[in-house]
Copies of this chain bind each other. A is one copy, B any other.
């Protein structure tokens, strides 16, 4: 599974995020894709997803670098589940470097021309269970 084409798509998307090239970034998403912006907050479709990435870039002061550590891709039924160690480097408001790691789940579908498009972008992985349960308690 080490050479699965979905891995190259994810790495290209990470470079587009770092370059703030959001038009190219949208090429990796299906028209009816969904992004988990944060637990309980969803963006649906390319317009909302693009807008969310613009806000995320602003929030991190245009300093964000996304990389993947270990990636596992499981493919079945023209669908691929990528389970990734997603690493986020950014500069904090006080100028110091910071980083975060997530165990993400990304779902891709194979299009008619064999291209892989992201349909569900959930960088929070199974942490959503804990996060949403936490939110219920508030």
Chain A interface, >50% SS class: strand
A119: contacting residue among B33, B77, B125, CB under 8 A: B77
A122 to B107 alpha-carbon distance, docked (Å): 13
A15 within 8 A of B: no
Asked if residues B109 and A77 are in contact (CB atoms below 8 Å), the reply is yes
Query: Per-position contact with B for A33-63: 1 when CB-CB < 8 Å, else 0?
Result: 1101000001010000000000000000000
A120: contacting residue among B44, B79, B132, CB under 8 A: B79
Within 8 A of B (CB), among A57-104: 70, 72, 74-81, 83-85, 103-104
Task: Count copies of this chain in the complex.
Answer: 2
Contacts of A83 in B (CB 8 A): 105, 122, 125-126, 128-129
- Chain B residue nearest in CB terms to A130: B103
Known: A72-B132, A105-B83. A77 touches B33 (CB 8 A): yes
A34 to B80 alpha-carbon distance, docked (Å): 10
